A and B are shown apart, each in its own frame.
Chain A
Amino acid sequence: ILNVEQSPQSLHVQEGDSTNFTCSFPSSNFYALHWYRWETAKSPEALFVMTLNGDEKKKGRISATLNTKEGYSYLYIKGSQPEDSATYLCAFFVDSSYKLIFGSGTRLLVRP
């Protein structure tokens, strides 16, 4: 059974703090890893799709790294803002069945 683990489950930080979360996934048969942000009452929104070992992607204050050999990805948020409050999901793409296996997410709350 393919398992995608995310930690921590939830995180409370102060505005201005930098933070990071972890996504662990199977290191064999890697094809792609996705990160999504899911704000309350909205739809999940894609942040990054990562396909290569050593990939580093950045979008504004948010960045992500990928290590396919050891099966983990980190998501970093620099200088957190209240609008960053959301659940951050990572998902492992299974090439053989075209399905995304999602982790349970990290719920981030940024206090003003």
Chain B
Amino acid sequence: GAGVSQSPSNKVTEKGKDVELRCDPISGHTALYWYRQSLGQGLEFLIYFQGNSAPDKSGLPSDRFSAERTGGSVSTLTIQRTQQEDSAVYLCASSLDGGGGAEQYFGPGTRLTVT
């Protein structure tokens, strides 16, 4: 079946512009996660959704970052007034439920470059 998809695959933007990254999880997966990997760094947790709700937004790096999920499916991660330090690969993952025993299925990522 279809896996997790993300769009765009690559995005180059100028500093100060807003960007929107999209994630389509596997159908039926109630949990959705956003991560990012900056150059030379490990995978960093950003936010988790159970259904349409995000119980904990403390992983978002700054108030320029926001995320929403609608219909228990598609999620968008929005970065306002992008900065060069936002350059990273942004990965989305979904799982059947939000419990720790459920493996996560990752999308191919969006590579964001802020010039």
Contact = CB atoms under 8 A, between A and B. Distances in A.
Interface of A: 31-32, 34, 36, 42-46, 49, 51, 89, 91, 93, 95, 97-105
Contact of A43 (B31, B55, B101, B108): B108
Chain B contact residues: over half helix, strand or loop, or mixed?
loop
State the 10 A-B residue pairs at the shortest beta-carbon distance, nearest first. A32-B100, A93-B100, A46-B103, A43-B106, A102-B43, A104-B42, A99-B45, A31-B100, A44-B106, A98-B48
Contacts of B98: 98
Interface string B80-112: 000000000001010000101111111111000
Interface string B24-62: 000000010101000001111100101000011011000
Contacts, number: 64
Interface of B: 3-4, 31, 33, 35, 41-45, 48, 50, 55-56, 58-59, 91, 93, 98, 100-109
Given A36-B106, A46-B105, A98-B50, 11 more contacts: A32-B100, A32-B101, A42-B108, A43-B91, A44-B91, A46-B103, A49-B103, A97-B55, A100-B104, A101-B45, A102-B45
Contacts of A104: 41-42
A89 B50 CA distance: 24
A103 B50 CA distance: 24
Contacts of A91: 43
Contacts of A97: 48, 55-56, 58
Nearest to A91: B43
A92 to B, nearest CB: 9
Contacts of B33: 99-100
B95 to A, nearest CB: 9
B104 A102 contact: no
Contacts of B50: 98
B103 A99 contact: no
Contacts of A45: 106
